[in-house]
């Protein structure tokens, strides 16, 4: 049995840790200290590291982890990742060292130019580790990519099975939901979600993982093809917007200033 544990880091990052009774693999360890604390407390051996993109809040802890554990590091082929031992491109298969889990790389450029995701079954549940690309009710900023690239990347993730559990890199959900409600004030599923996610935070729980199905119903960045989302974007922009990519671009701009 493999479980997936959130390790909070910095102000709002999650380092995801996959574990059985003996071994653990971490995703995006921006900081080594909370990972090492967990491994010691739970008497686990680190057997591998995955990285989705090169930002320091996702890879900054890798060198200190490698000092303690000589393990493989799987990271995006098109980015520089400290200690990377295997370059992962779209379609590459990663057998997690020490755990009965196999994940596949997906190319999702936009937040960074070489950003990847890892997707596969964990204990029979389709699971996605997507760094800073798809967030609960939101998406990452476009630091190195175009709106067209990000829209294509998000569309690729949106096509995964609806039941897919989505493990994002940050706890941004409540702020994202406030924006989502400004875009779609009449979306009943979204309003209900805002209540339930607020309740989780009030209890001190993560809002993650989310699911592809829930994101399709409530994440405005996956809903730019819908007439009501396009109309809200056009009202806000004060002009008509040509196609899905243009709606996405205007929505991302709106969120940047929200």
Alpha-carbon distance of 258 to 251, in angstroms, equals 10
Q: Catalytic residue, from 53, 54, 107, 115: name it.
A: 53
Q: Is residue 55 near Zn ion by the rule CB under 5 A?
A: yes
Alpha-carbon distance of 237 to 94, in angstroms, equals 43
Window 104-133: contact mask with Fe ion (x via CB under 5 A)? ----------------------------x-
Tell me whether residue 136 or residue 233 sits nearer to Fe ion (CB atom). Answer: 136
Please name the residue that has the structure tokens 């690239």.
Answer: 149
Backbone phi and psi for residue 114, each to the nearest 5 degrees, phi listed first: -115, 15
Window 6-45: contact mask with Zn ion (x via CB under 5 A)? ----------------------------------------
Q: Using the rule CB under 5 A, which residue among 31, 57, 149, 215 binds Fe ion?
A: 57
Q: Using the rule CB under 5 A, which residue among 31, 79, 132, 171 binds Zn ion?
A: 132
DSSP state of 79: S
Alpha-carbon distance of 29 to 27, in angstroms, equals 6
Strands 45-50 and 23-27: parallel
Q: Two tokens at 130?
A: 């997507």
170 has catalytic annotation: yes
54 has catalytic annotation: no
Query: Candidates 30-38, 51-59, 144-152, 194-202 — which segment interacts with Zn ion by CB under 5 A?
Result: 51-59
Alpha-carbon distance of 255 to 258, in angstroms, equals 5
User: Which residues of this chain interact with Zn ion, rule CB under 5 A?
Assistant: 55, 132
């Amino acid at each position: 049995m493999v479980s997936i544990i959130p390790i909070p880091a910095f102000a709002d990052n999650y380092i995801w840790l996959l574990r059985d009774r003996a071994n653990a693999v971490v995703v995006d360890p921006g900081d080594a200290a909370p990972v090492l604390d967990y491994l010691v407390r739970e008497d686990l051996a680190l057997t591998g590291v995955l990285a989705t993109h090169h930002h320091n809040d996702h890879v900054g802890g890798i060198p200190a982890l490698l000092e303690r554990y000589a393990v493989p590091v799987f990271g995006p082929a098109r980015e520089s990742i400290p200690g990377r031992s295997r370059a992962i491109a779209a379609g590459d298969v990663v057998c997690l060292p020490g755990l009965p889990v196999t994940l596949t790389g997906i190319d999702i450029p936009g937040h960074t130019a070489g950003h990847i995701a890892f997707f596969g079954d964990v204990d029979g549940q389709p699971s996605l580790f997507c760094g800073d690309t798809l967030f609960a009710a939101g998406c990452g900023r476009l630091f190195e990519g175009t709106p067209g690239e990000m829209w294509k990347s998000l569309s690729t993730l949106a096509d995964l099975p609806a039941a897919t559990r989505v493990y994002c890199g940050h706890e941004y959900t409540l702020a994202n939901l406030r924006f989502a409600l400004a875009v779609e004030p009449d979306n009943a599923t979204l309003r209900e979600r805002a209540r339930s996610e607020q309740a989780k935070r009030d209890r001190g729980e993560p809002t993650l993982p989310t699911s592809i199905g829930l994101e399709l119903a409530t994440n405005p960045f996956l809903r730019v093809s819908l007439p009501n989302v396009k109309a809200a974007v056009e009202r806000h922009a004060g002009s008509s917007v040509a196609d899905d990519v243009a709606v996405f671009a205007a929505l991302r701009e709106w969120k940047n200033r929200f």
